[in-house]
Amino acid sequence: MEIERIARKQIGQWFQRHREAVRIALGSLPHDWLHRDATQLVPEGTKTCPPSFTVKRDDLAAAMVLLALIDDKGPNLATIQSCTSDSVERASDDTGFVTAIKARNREVLRTPAPAGGLYSYGGLLEFVAAATRVDRMLRSGGTDFDRLLFVATGAITVLGRTGVNTWWWYERSWDGAGPERPETLSFQRLRKTALLRGQHRGHNLIGQKETTARLYLADALPDAILTPGLLNTQKSMADYWRSKYRAVAPAMTVDSAQSLSGAQAAEVVPLIQAEAVMDVGVAACISNGQSPQDDNKPCGLGPVACFVCPNGYRIPEIIPGLIATVQFTENIRKYEPQEWVTGEAPALNSLARKALGQFPRQFVEAVQAEEIANSRALIACVYTEGRRD
């Protein structure tokens, strides 16, 4: 494939430049040069990235394109953008695991991957981590931002489609004898190409179960298979999310609430009298998930607002959701630092921890792992739907 050839060429040139920069910095090229700490490559007190270690947009763009195609893994753009310096975990000399984030529901993906050289899925990510180590050490965005791989020197955000296509627009080494050169690069098409190749070789799809994997390759399926598959998937998804938005039934009655102090009774009675109470993960919502300003509209304020909303109650039934929220936001911090820096995950993590601290410890420790896992799916949905850009 011509696009892959061009990306490989760009990466090869970056590899040679970086290896030479390391050789000059160390005075030689030891066998572990790719894994030397960034502090060994620049003088102490260095404040700005030296030109020899500058991370260029074009190099990152080629790496992102190649990751979409290499080893037929077919990750989408958001998954590639979530990769950090901690994404690759070695299992042997030529294999490993790659951890990233599935943007749609922020599921942590831990995928087996070849890691036997520069042009392998894991190996390429390891090289990008090495080639950006000096620049990442000198970034000023904080320790979480410093772990992101696909940020050019001087940039404040992860490289996106526009940056990749700017590189492609000026890239003119296309072989005229082959197919017509596309004006722009589509990561959806690159992903589809990799997945179709992988299907013929028996590879699994990243982040997909067997029942839904075929739908990602819909243009290669006849209608007799595609249509029933789409209908079954829609039904299973609807059933799945209905099970997550389950009602919460308070055990206390209005009469029993009278035994509480005046302030406590005033707080508890609205919960007991509510017509329907919805578990929204971080709270029991007495408006059944509707907007506090308009009963005819669903609430779209996001989970952080639940902690200050008068309709949101922290009761023992939502302890699994609070634990899941802490775990979910910790995963964002570890695997998706860009979202941690720009989103509401830090505030949500802090609020959930403080709310858990108000329950007896034995209540928290008694929660079953399955309950937490179910609640984590709900929290991911609520967080993603309420994410405000």
Q: Where are the alpha helices (DSSP H) in 276-368?
A: 319-335, 337-342, 345-356, 361-365
* Residue ranges of E strands in the chain: 88-90, 95-102, 107-114, 278-279, 284-285, 312-313
* Architecture of the domain delimited by 2-207: Orthogonal Bundle (1.10)
pLDDT of residue 209: 54
Please report, rounded to a whole number, the percentage of residues in the chain having pLDDT higher than 70.
76
User: Which letter does DSSP use for residue 205 in this model?
Assistant: P
pLDDT of 260 strictly over 60: no
Asked which of 95-99, 233-237, 326-330, 353-357 is least confident by mean pLDDT, the reply is 233-237
Q: Sheet of 312-313: strands edge to edge?
A: 278-279, 284-285, 312-313
Contact 385, 315 (CB under 8 A): no
What mean pLDDT do residues 199-221 have? 54
Contact 64, 164 (CB under 8 A): yes
Domain boundaries, the chain: 2-207, 254-386
pLDDT of residue 389: 47
What mean pLDDT do residues 342-362 have? 90
pLDDT of 332 strictly over 50: yes
At 258 the three-state DSSP class reads coil
Tens of pLDDT, residues 158-175: 999 999 999 998 877 776
- pLDDT, mean over the chain: 80
Tens of pLDDT, residues 49-107: 999 999 999 999 999 999 999 988 888 888 899 889 989 988 888 888 888 876 555 67
Q: What does DSSP say about strands 284-285 and 278-279: parallel, antiparallel, or unpaired? A: antiparallel
What mean pLDDT do residues 125-144 have? 88
pLDDT of residue 310: 83
